[in-house]
Amino acid sequence: MDKSQQKQLYLFYCAECEDLARQVASQSDHIILQTIKWRNFDDGFPNIFINNAQDLRGQHVAFLGSFSSQGVIFEQLSVIYALPRLFVASFTLVLPFFPTGSFERMEEEGDVATAFTMARMLSNIPISRGGPTSLVIYDIHALQERFYFGDHVLPLFETGIPLLKQRLHQLSDSDKIVVAFPDDGAWKRFHKQLDHFPMVVCNKVREGDKRIVRIKEGNPAGCHVVIVDDLVQSGGTLIECQKVLAAHGAAKVSAYVTHGVFPKRSWEQFTHKDDGLEKAFAYFWITDSCPLTVKAVANKAPFEVLSLAGSIADALQP
């Protein structure tokens, strides 16, 4: 086998990640897309076939997954557990969004930390010929979750923040950017990567039965303020932060999250309507870590998608 052949990587992907997988493959001549037949038996359980499995022996192999719902996790885990056993040279799992990451701690006896459950499931991926599985995850909710994984996987925690910084430098008002964090947790998570920007830190305080968002430190007046967090669910906190920042004189407010989860189409409240009302968010940047959301918000202002494809391709270099 020549050296160029050794550098090739065979990339498999789940159905909803096809667009992202094609973008990743377009970044490098050494990444070769492979396909899987995702079928079901009559009883609904998976009937899966890995195409060209006999050609994988001695090759570097990766799988691009998306655990967007409980219903797809089992079928993808079945493939993830099967691929390393095909005598491959190495196996990498790219799971851009770790879906249970925000359920990482117990506050009272009886709480189940499902982030730990998911980490245990992924820690049992069989060891390939090349050793433990490499696991690539973007902006996991809490950094301490790296310690939830066992010795059979090597977690590589990447971030989407470089994509945001690149986009901010392209803006006409790039010299007026202030970064805001919705709480102390987001500040701890991201401030070192954004420390060349002026910052605003918000927090939530309890007044009676309500939790009110206030500015803890920093001044947004006259600036384009970009709220930064790892993920968004309902979006309620972002909306409250926007109101407070605007009330304190922010010229514009935008938002960035790596993972646009948006259950129950909660992204709809952020879209620009043609009814003359004020557009609360100038931009709302997300990555393509949640493919179903990417399709839902396509061509809908203020949303822009910053693709992880280049970063994933770099992480997959054998």
The domains of the chain, with CATH numbers, are 9-158+309-316 (3.40.50.2020), 161-287 (3.40.50.2020)
Phi, psi of 247, rounded to the nearest 5 degrees: -65, -25
Closest CA to 23 of 318, 316, 261: 316
Structural tokens at position 1: 């086998």
Q: Give the Cα separation of 283 and 126 in Å (integer).
A: 42
CB 177, CB 226: distance < 8 Å: yes
Which helix or strand (DSSP H or E) is residue 185 part of? helix 184-190
> How many residues would you count in the chain?
318
Q: Give the Cα separation of 291 and 69 in Å (integer).
A: 12
CB 226, CB 245: distance < 8 Å: no
Q: CA 186 → CA 171, 223, 253, 300, distances in Å?
A: 23, 20, 17, 26
Structural tokens at position 38: 């995702």
Determine the 3-state secondary structure of 158 from DSSP: strand
- In order along its 318 residues, the chain shows pLDDT tens digits of 444 444 799 999 999 999 999 999 999 999 999 999 999 999 999 999 999 999 999 999 999 999 988 889 999 999 999 999 999 999 999 999 999 767 777 778 888 888 899 999 999 999 999 999 999 999 998 878 888 999 889 999 999 999 999 999 999 999 999 999 999 999 999 999 999 999 999 998 877 777 789 999 999 999 999 999 999 999 999 999 999 999 999 999 999 999 999 999 999 999 987 654 468 999 999 999 999 999 999 999 999 999 999 999 999 987
